[in-house]
Amino acid sequence: MKLVDHSLSQIDLPLKLQILNISVNLSRLSQWVYEGYDKRSELINKFMKQTENYLADLDRQKISRDFKPTLERLKTEFPYLKKTLNSQDKRFWAEKALTWANILTHRAKIA
């Protein structure tokens, strides 16, 4: 059995767990950015990259027709989140990330 470094990939985990892990990452990022990420910028960058990798892992998964629109919209909006991470309006950024965390938590069951 090949071991996977879960800090980089989670392809070996069940799909619902993969989605929930992305949700948890977005929730953490939301909190850290809202609180003032200057002190945690290295950690935030690490979690952004990890989340990006986790999203890429989903490209190799069989996604349900019901969940596919949610995933496609997240994949469209995540680059924007990444690009605007250092924006002035940290509350807006944090709210967007937390909204996605909540959406993924509730929709993971239909993946």
User: Residues 4-44: pLDDT tens digits?
Assistant: 777 778 888 999 999 999 999 999 999 999 988 766 788 99
Helices 15-36 and 90-107: crossing angle, nearest 10°?
160
Averaged pLDDT score across all residues of the chain: 91
Question: In the structure, what pLDDT confidence band is assigned to residue 2 with cuts at 50, 70 and 90?
Answer: low
Instruction: Round to whole Å and give the CA distance between 15 and 58.
Output: 8
For tokens 């959406």, name the residue: 103
pLDDT tens for residues 42-61?
899 999 999 999 999 999 89
Instruction: Decide: 57 and 11 in contact? Cβ < 8 Å.
Output: yes
Q: Tokens 């919209």 sit at which residue?
A: 73
Residue 3 has a pLDDT of 67
Please indicate, yes or no, if residue 9 is contained in any of the structural domains: no
| Cα-based angle 39, 43, 44 (whole degrees, multiple of 5) | 85
Which residues span the domain enclosing 83? 15-110
**DSSP secondary structure code for residue 47 in this structure:** H
Mean per-residue pLDDT, 64-92? 94
Average pLDDT over every residue of 89-106: 96
| The pLDDT of residue 27 | 98
Q: Does residue 25 belong to any structural domain of this protein?
A: yes
pLDDT given for residue 9 in this prediction: 84
Q: Number of folded domains in the chain?
A: 1
**pLDDT at position 32:** 93
